[in-house]
Structure 1
């Protein structure tokens, strides 16, 4: 289990992470989402002791990461796939890791096989690896110690569709065996397919935290009318925010009862009115992180 409590990071007057709290439970994949610069990577670096926190704390398996004996045997971490020695082969990188953790050499070949870098690819120098191959090597390193917890920052970056599909199955199996996965990614569709729990961060603060089913069922109400102009005027007059869908409907920030009431009052014909539970993760993400987007445009 991962527990983050009131974690904050300040750089002078700038607050990068502001009082962040959440949990990642065993047996589940927790998706950690947010726009660029929202504080995801900084939070994960604080959790793993790479960046000192200004306030708050986090525990992994009941203790701070720095207090774990031989931490690689308990927590697999991938925060930067490029942080590998370019002059060593993939096999050499993992052998050194295995020696550090006190693991048998056979574990190296097992992990190279698991991530698809066996044979000649394992003996190639890391400096000649593609980004996708570096990601696979980083995942092999994270899995090397047979950990109970995985903390992965953008692990699908650089992987081709087949590689993303492979990684999805790998992480799903890890969680189903009782492991804890915290996964940061900008690939919202992939997170939607694999995650059980979602934590969204915006401008350094948690803006949503819950199961995927809970959060995707609260993204708003979908409403459709044959007279879109009349519906638009109706929503504008009521001061209700909304977003247009690709097929001509609106997802509005109000309950279906509220929308039905204002449509009746303004005599607007409505042909569809329901919870927007099919809007998907992308719509929810855009709604909840709208402040970040506006700030980036105005900057």
Structure 2
């Protein structure tokens, strides 16, 4: 299990992460979402002991990452697929890691096969790898010690559609066997397909978290009017944030409240309905509100 308790990180006056708390339970995939600069990577680096927190704490299996006797056997981490020794072959990169963790060298071949790097790819220098191949090697490194927890930051970058589908199945199988996955990605549809729980961060703060089904059930309201400017002004006057979407304005509020705001301003509506429960819409709604509050 991953436990994050009141975690904060400040750089001077800037709060990159501000009082963040959440838990990732065994048997689940938790999607960790937010726009660029929201604090996702900083939070994950603090969980993994790479960035010291200003306040709060993060633990894996009840311990700080730095206190784990053999971290690779407990936690598989992929934060940057390019942070690999470019002069080593794929097989050598895994062999060094296996030696460090005290693993049987046979695990190297098994993990290369698992991630789809064949014998020819394993003999190539990492500098010659495509981004997708580096991602596969990074996933192999994360899985090498047969950990109970995976922490992955944008693991699908560079993967083709077949590779993304493969990774989705791999993570789902890992969680179904009792593993814990914390997954950060901008590929919202892939997160929606594999995640059980969602944590959404904006401006360094958690703006929503919970079971995926519960969060997507309240996707806000979609509203259209012939005079979009008048509608936007009416919503602003009522304190309701609105964001452009392909079908109109998306508002993180109940349909009744949106309709009342338009009626009070005398704005005739062409459409007013609950938004479809899609992660993309939820994400845009929540992060738009956090961006407005922080002035970013």
Q: What TM-score results when the alignment is normalised by the length of structure 1?
A: 0.89
Write the distance in 1 (CA, Å) between the matches of 2:115 and 2:31: 21
Write the distance in 1 (CA, Å) between the matches of 2:148 and 2:221: 39
Q: Which of these residues, 282, 285, 288, is aligned with residue 287 of structure 1? A: 285
Q: Report if aligned partners of 2:6, 2:19 keep a CA contact under 8 Å in 1.
A: yes
Q: Report if aligned partners of 2:198, 2:210 keep a CA contact under 8 Å in 1.
A: yes
Write the distance in 2 (CA, Å) between the matches of 1:178 and 1:45: 24
Q: CA deviation at 1:246?
A: 2.5
The corresponding residue for 1:148 is: 148
The corresponding residue for 1:252 is: 251
**CA pair 263-61 structure 1, distance change in 2 beyond 3 A:** same
The corresponding residue for 1:6 is: 6
Q: CA deviation at 1:79?
A: 0.7
The corresponding residue for 1:24 is: 24
Q: CA deviation at 1:68?
A: 1.3
RMSD over aligned Cα atoms: 2.5
Write the distance in 2 (CA, Å) between the matches of 1:233 and 1:279: 27
Write the distance in 2 (CA, Å) between the matches of 1:23 and 1:235: 37
The corresponding residue for 2:101 is: 101
* Greater mean alpha carbon deviation, residues 62-71 or residues 145-154: 62-71
Q: CA deviation at 1:263?
A: 6.5
**CA pair 41-245 structure 1, distance change in 2 beyond 3 A:** closer
**CA pair 261-38 structure 1, distance change in 2 beyond 3 A:** closer
CA deviation string 1:250-286 (max 9, x = no partner)? 433332333455667788877865432x252222212
Write the distance in 1 (CA, Å) between the matches of 2:62 and 2:118: 35
Write the distance in 1 (CA, Å) between the matches of 2:261 and 2:36: 37
Q: Report if aligned partners of 2:242, 2:250 keep a CA contact under 8 Å in 1.
A: yes
5+ residue gaps, structure 1: none
Q: CA deviation at 1:241?
A: 3.8
Write the distance in 2 (CA, Å) between the matches of 1:16 and 1:207: 14
The corresponding residue for 1:229 is: 226
Q: Report if aligned partners of 1:109, 1:118 keep a CA contact under 8 Å in 2.
A: no
**CA pair 115-213 structure 1, distance change in 2 beyond 3 A:** same
The SS at the match of 1:121 is helix
Write the distance in 1 (CA, Å) between the matches of 2:226 and 2:10: 47
**CA pair 94-237 structure 1, distance change in 2 beyond 3 A:** closer
The corresponding residue for 2:65 is: 65
The corresponding residue for 1:74 is: 74
The corresponding residue for 1:120 is: 120
**CA pair 264-7 structure 1, distance change in 2 beyond 3 A:** closer
Q: CA deviation at 1:243?
A: 3.9
The SS at the match of 1:122 is helix
Aligned length: 293
Write the distance in 1 (CA, Å) between the matches of 2:250 and 2:76: 40
5+ residue gaps, structure 2: none
**CA pair 235-167 structure 1, distance change in 2 beyond 3 A:** same
CA deviation string 1:195-246 (max 9, x = no partner)? 111111111111111111122222212346xxx3268746743634434542
CA deviation string 1:121-177 (max 9, x = no partner)? 011111111111111000000001111000001111111111111111110110111
Q: What TM-score results when the alignment is normalised by the length of structure 2?
A: 0.89
Q: CA deviation at 1:107?
A: 0.7
The corresponding residue for 2:163 is: 163
Q: Report if aligned partners of 2:207, 2:290 keep a CA contact under 8 Å in 1.
A: no
